[in-house]
Structure 1
Amino acid sequence: MNMRRMLFIVIPLLFILNNAVSFFVFQSGRTVQQSYNMMLDRVLLYKQIDEKTRENLRAINVHIMDRSPGSLKEFENQRAELKALQTSLSAQQPVASVELAVRSYRHMLATFISQEKSVMDALNSRTPLAYASSYADAETTAGFIREEAYQLIDQELSYYQPFYRKILVQTDVMNHWGIAVFAANTVISLVFAYWISLRITKPIQGLVRTAEQISEGNLEATPPPMGVHDEFRTLSEAFRQMQENLKLLIQKEKEGLEKDRLVKELELAVLQNQINPHFLFNSLNVLSKLALIEGAEKTSDLTVSLSNLLRYNLRQLDRPVPLRDEVEHAREYFIIQQARFRERIRFETEIEEAGLDVLVPVLTLQPILENVFVHAIEGMEEGAVIKLAVQCKPDETWVSISDNGAGMSGEIRDSLLHYDEASPKNADGKSGHSTGLGTRNVFKRLELFYDRKDLVRIESAPGAGTTVILRIPVRGKEENHVSPVDRG
């Protein structure tokens, strides 16, 4: 459950609980108030009826004395008000204990009203003092009404007294319950507030600690585990993904630095051999021309090949070259080596022209060929064969260099493929005649250049020769002159 949904549930529940307690207490008080109002209304009504009957008697006396229209009108008003009170009394629902008394009280009030009418009718007759008997009856009835009103008030109060005591006890209990519920609600609110704040602050504190550790250089620090599916778990996963991306970026930066280091080492190795290159080129050209003049054509060709080989080795090393240039450079290198080994070796090529346009790092094939001469066929007296093949695959160009030399053991093959830690010695542990580049350097440069680790395969066994296969991605065709340092 996420934090937003939790707040939407907890806060309304607390609000409803508070309102329910408040409404219950309010409703209890309202019930008491309604009962009290009903009783008070009946008591006041009894009191008003008693007063109004006496006012009606006074109005009759006034009219008997002056017989004026004003006194008659005043009597009619008083009589109308008394009838209104009679109607209110009829609408009241008395309690069971005073129902008979209320009914008698109604009859007495009706008798008084009819006696008033009799008095007024007697006043309008021609018989003197005919009203006296009716007035005396009305006055007696008014006295009964007064006494009955007092008795009804006493009975109403007596009836409601235990009821009110019970209500007061219940109200007191409800007040205690209200206080208890309020205290419990306060405690629950504080617990929920602490729990919710803990759910918010604890994950944030864990992420802050992890961020501080990462800022101090500890990239292996992991965010605290989040047990529920909420916003903080999403934030923790995003934080962990950012951490992985940071590691990846740092790894790529290290690889870029490694590329720079390899290129600088390569340039340094070449610069160590670059002793006044213009003087060497001029000297080789002079030797070539001199050999040609003296009729030594092979010597002239060998000198030209050496000049081309030296010029290729001194070119800019941080620029990729087409595979075609590497193949031509390999041929020049073989011409020089054949002058040394003569008929003991044979160089074969099987080239598909469509595969020569891919880009490769400069000086990719020569170190592998040099390793073949030094470690594979140097001890062979005759019949040595080195084959260079280029084959086109759907998404790759395969370059294979094979020989029928001494081969190598699985341990040596693995040491060549696992080139993370470069060795100052050659694959077999012996120092050899090398340019200093090394096959491991070539494999590492290929990996950094194409950002892949599955580009090299070595097939070999002791006494069965060796085949080195390079898998060059075809995408190199579209990236003309892109520095390997910038790739990744």
Structure 2
Amino acid sequence: MTIRRKLLLFIPLLVLLVNSVTYFLFMSAQTVQYSYESMTERMLLYKQAAGTADDNLRLLYAFLLDPEESPAASPAFDAALTRLRGLRAALAAASSASLPAASLRSYTNMLDTFSEQASAAWESASAGDPRSALALYEDAEKTTAYIREEGQRLVDLELSRYQPLFRRIQGENERMNRLGAAVFVLNTVLSVVLAVWISRSITGPVSRLVRTARQMSKGNLSVEPAPRSNDELGILSDAFERMSAELKQLIERDKESLEKDRLVKELELKALQSQINPHFLFNTLNVLSKLALLEGAEKTSDLIVSMSNLMRYNLRKLDAPVTLRSELEHVKEYFAIQQARFRDRIRLELDIDESALQEAIPSLTLQPIVENAFVHGIAGREEGAVIRLEIKRAGKGVLIRIADNGAGMSEEARLALLRLEAEPGKEQSQSTGLGTRNVFKRLQLFYGRGDLVDIASVPGEGTTVTIVIPAGKEGEQTHVPAVDRG
């Protein structure tokens, strides 16, 4: 859940909860207030009805004493009588759960009786019948007394009937007060918990990211994985972890590049150690070759040319890949020199697929392995020494196999060679200076893989070195960047 969704979901829920509780408290207070107002309104109606009846009776009495005031007193009497009838209608419309319906109906009937008696007395007095008017006045006076007494009785009855209700309302008020306090505390606790939860869901991952960034700034890229969350900070944490992993990969590639550069510089240094004025040496070899040719020593001339080509190839730029064709020609030049030494004791067998000779390979790869076969494999054989070089297509790549029928090697030596474990002084004692382990290391760095070389050897029966060149670098003839150097 994203941070924005959390805020949009939980904050409105909290507000809705608070509003619901507030509305419940408000409606409870409204119910209590309505009960109070309803009871108070009926009590006031009883009192007002009794007071209005007294007003009508007083106006009627004043009129009976002085009928000459009829034109001035009549409007006031009519207004008071109208008010009384209005109060009677209000009482008839009012309902009370605490009073019997008969009591309220009896009270309104008294008001009706008073209104009729007062109107009849006024009319009799206006008609000049004081005796009848006085009798009606006395009846109205008695009815007024009944109205006062009945109104007071109804008020007392309302109060007595509402006394349990008052106590219940008071208890309800106390309960509502406690509930309000509890709701206030609950809302406060929920608000604090929600605020802390949302804050920790934000500040916790941010703090972890800050610690991770500080560790990365100090060079520590071993970032421990953070607990996964589904918000924006979780995505940011994943991005940090991916960035750390990519930085580690880049550093590893830089280390490999530095190792390649170191190896190339080492090879160049070894090559420089053998460069004793190469131009003078090549010119001297050319002169010797021409001189041998003029003297009829053609084999000597060919041997000198092979030696010159061999040295020129060894002194070339070591960080530029070459084709398998160039490597094959270099092997042939080297074999020509060795055959001049061993003559018919050795034989080179070639099984070459011409379509594979355009593949790129690090410079000086095949000749050191062939030389190792001479030095450590077949140099001690008196006859029948054979070195077989096979180059052919294998899927999209190229398979190179160099086999000899020499002395072979022990299992410990074979494993040490595959693990690139150096044996100081052994490989370089009789070689041109570029060891087999160095060749394997350059292949591993050049192609970025460690499974390209395999060695099979049986002591006394010979050794076979198999190299698998993967596809993807064919046709590369130019200088390569340092990150790809072999």
TM-score by length of 1: 0.89
Deviation of the 1:245 alpha carbon: 2.1
Distance across 1 between alignment mates of 2:274 and 2:478: 25
Report the number of matched residues.
Answer: 482
CA distance in 1, matches of 2:22, 2:364: 90
Q: How many angstroms apart in 1 are the aligned matches of 2:456 and 2:394?
A: 19
Sequence identity, in percent?
52
1:418-452 Cα distance to aligned partner (Å, 9 max, x none): 12x5443346xxx5212222111111111111112
Asked whether the 8 Å contact 1:206–1:223 carries over to 2, the reply is no
What is the rounded CA distance, in whole Å, between the counterparts of 1:2 and 1:409 in structure 2? 64
| Greater shift in the superposed pair: 397-406 or 250-259 | 397-406
- Pick closer, same or farther for the CA change 1:62–1:376 going to 2, 3 Å: farther
* 1:183 to 2:185 alignment: yes
Question: SS in structure 2 opposite 1:401?
Answer: strand
What is the aligned counterpart of 1:89 among 71, 88, 91? Answer: 91
Equivalent residue, structure 1, for 2:273: 272
User: Deviation of residue 288 (structure 1)?
Assistant: 0.6
- How many angstroms does 1:343 deviate by? 0.8
Match of 2:466 in 1: 469
Deviations 1:44-103 (A, max 9, x none): 1112212222333355455944332x6544444433332222111111112344544322
Q: Is residue 327–residue 365 contact of structure 1 (8 Å, CA) maintained in 2?
A: yes
**CA deviation profile, 1:101-139 (whole Å, cap 9, x unmatched):** 322211101111222332354356465654332233223
Q: Structure 1 residues 293 and 480 mapped into 2: Cα distance closer, same or farther (>3 Å)?
A: closer
Once residues 150 and 390 of structure 1 are traced to their aligned partners in structure 2, the CA distance between those partners, rounded to angstroms, is 129
Deviation track 1:281-315 (CA, whole Å, cap 9, x = no partner) reads 11111001000000000011111111111111121
Q: Is residue 155 of structure 2 the alignment partner of residue 158 of structure 1?
A: no
For residues 42 and 128 of structure 1, do their structure 2 counterparts lie closer, same or farther at Cα, with a shift above 3 Å needed? closer
Contact 1:448/1:484 (CA < 8 Å) preserved in 2? no
Give the Cα separation in 1 of the matches to 2:417 and 2:63: 140
Shift of 1:365: 0.8
Residue in structure 1 matched with residue 298 of structure 2 by the alignment: 297
Q: 1:188-199 residue pairs with structure 2 within 5 A?
A: 188-194=190-196, 196-199=198-201
Distance 2:199 2:250 in 1: 36
Query: Is the counterpart of residue 66 in structure 1 residue 69 in structure 2?
Result: yes
Residue 447 of structure 1 is matched in structure 2 by 444
Residue of structure 2 in register with 1:375 after alignment = 376
Once residues 5 and 424 of structure 1 are traced to their aligned partners in structure 2, the CA distance between those partners, rounded to angstroms, is: 68
The gaps in structure 2 that reach 5 residues or longer are none
Match of 2:329 in 1: 328
RMSD: 2.8
Return 9-18 or 81-90, whichever deviates more: 9-18
Q: CA deviation at 1:206?
A: 4.1
Residue 318 of structure 1 aligns to a residue whose secondary structure is: coil
> Does the 8 A contact of 1:223 with 1:239 survive in 2?
no
The answer to whether the Cα contact below 8 Å between 2:92 and 2:104 also exists between their aligned partners in 1 is no
Matches within 5 A, 1:193-208: 193-194=195-196, 196-208=198-210
Which stretch has the larger CA shift, 465-474 or 11-20? 11-20
- For structure 1, which runs of at least 5 residues remain unmatched after alignment? none
- The equivalent position to 1:135 in structure 2, one of 124, 130, 137, is 137
| Structure 1 residue 414, shift from structure 2 partner | 1.2
Which amino acid letter does the alignment assign opposite residue 318 of structure 1?
Answer: D
Aligned match of 2:245:
244
SS at match of 1:379: coil
Deviations 1:326-363 (A, max 9, x none): 11111111111111111110111111111011111111
Contact 1:98/1:156 (8 A) holds in 2? no
Could you say if the C-alpha distance between residues 218 and 142 of structure 1 is closer, same or farther in structure 2, counting changes exceeding 3 Å?
same
Q: Which residue number corresponds to residue 46 of structure 1?
A: 46
SS of residue matched to 2:474: helix
SS at match of 1:400: strand
1:301 is matched by which residue type in structure 2? D
